[in-house]
């Protein structure tokens, strides 16, 4: 069994690549961590629809932030899409955007639990995330928090995974054997 982190920028093709890594399996569990379509954001609804249309009809879709729970009892390969919306959802549910120190502690603990679950996974797992460190430093405290915490989370998850793929402009770079920053 292998765990793979797929990272890249917005619209780079990272989700399509992640889905292709498990495309030959019929018993995929697809963990959608993003917020549900509440009818107020047509662009978000279109993004969700595009993801739904690409998935095989046999795939089991779970919309949840409980990624660790899903990884505890998988039926087959698992795709988690994505860590950025997962992190945002965790902080949203905790109502912690006004207390970024508490939010950081929450994300760190949840990240450790996720990494432990990835190391114990008995099936192939592909985790999708945004590579946010290439963008300008945000002007708001919450924007900087998100960028910093997702960067830390990505590094921790990469360390827990067997493989790391970077998707840039629709091209995949395998970083699995690249040197690791200590």
Looking up tokens 């990884």, which residue turns up?
Answer: 71
Which run of H or of E encompasses 181?
A: none
Please give the Cα distance from 138 to 144 (Å, whole number): 5
Cis peptide bond prior to 85, omega within 30° of 0: no
Q: For residue 51, indicate whether it is catalytic.
A: yes
Any alpha helices (H) in the chain, and if so which ranges? 14-21, 42-54, 67-72, 83-94, 100-120, 141-160
Looking at the DSSP bridge assignments, the partners of residue 29 are 60, 78
Please give the Cα distance from 1 to 98 (Å, whole number): 40
Please give the Cα distance from 10 to 85 (Å, whole number): 13
The catalytic residue among 17, 51, 60, 165 is 51
The SS3 call for residue 119 is helix
Which run of H or of E encompasses 66?
A: none
| Residue numbers annotated as active site | 51
């Amino acid at each position: 069994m292998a765990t793979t982190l797929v990272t890249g920028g917005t619209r780079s093709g990272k989700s399509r690549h992640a889905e292709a890594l498990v495309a030959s399996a019929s018993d995929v569990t697809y963990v959608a961590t993003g917020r549900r379509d509440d009818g107020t954001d047509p662009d978000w609804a279109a993004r969700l629809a595009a993801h739904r249309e690409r998935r095989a009809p046999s795939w089991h879709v779970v919309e949840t932030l409980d990624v660790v729970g899903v990884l505890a009892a998988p039926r087959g390969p698992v795709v988690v899409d994505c860590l950025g919306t997962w992190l945002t959802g965790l902080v949203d549910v905790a109502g912690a955007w006004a207390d970024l120190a508490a939010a950081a502690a929450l994300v760190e603990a949840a990240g450790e639990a996720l990494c432990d679950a990835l190391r114990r996974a008995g099936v192939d797992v592909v985790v999708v995330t945004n590579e946010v460190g290439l963008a300008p430093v945000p002007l708001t405290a919450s924007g900087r928090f998100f960028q910093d915490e997702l960067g830390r989370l990505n590094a921790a998850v990469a360390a827990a995974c067997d493989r790391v793929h970077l998707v840039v402009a629709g091209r995949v770079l395998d970083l699995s054997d690249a040197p690791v920053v200590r």
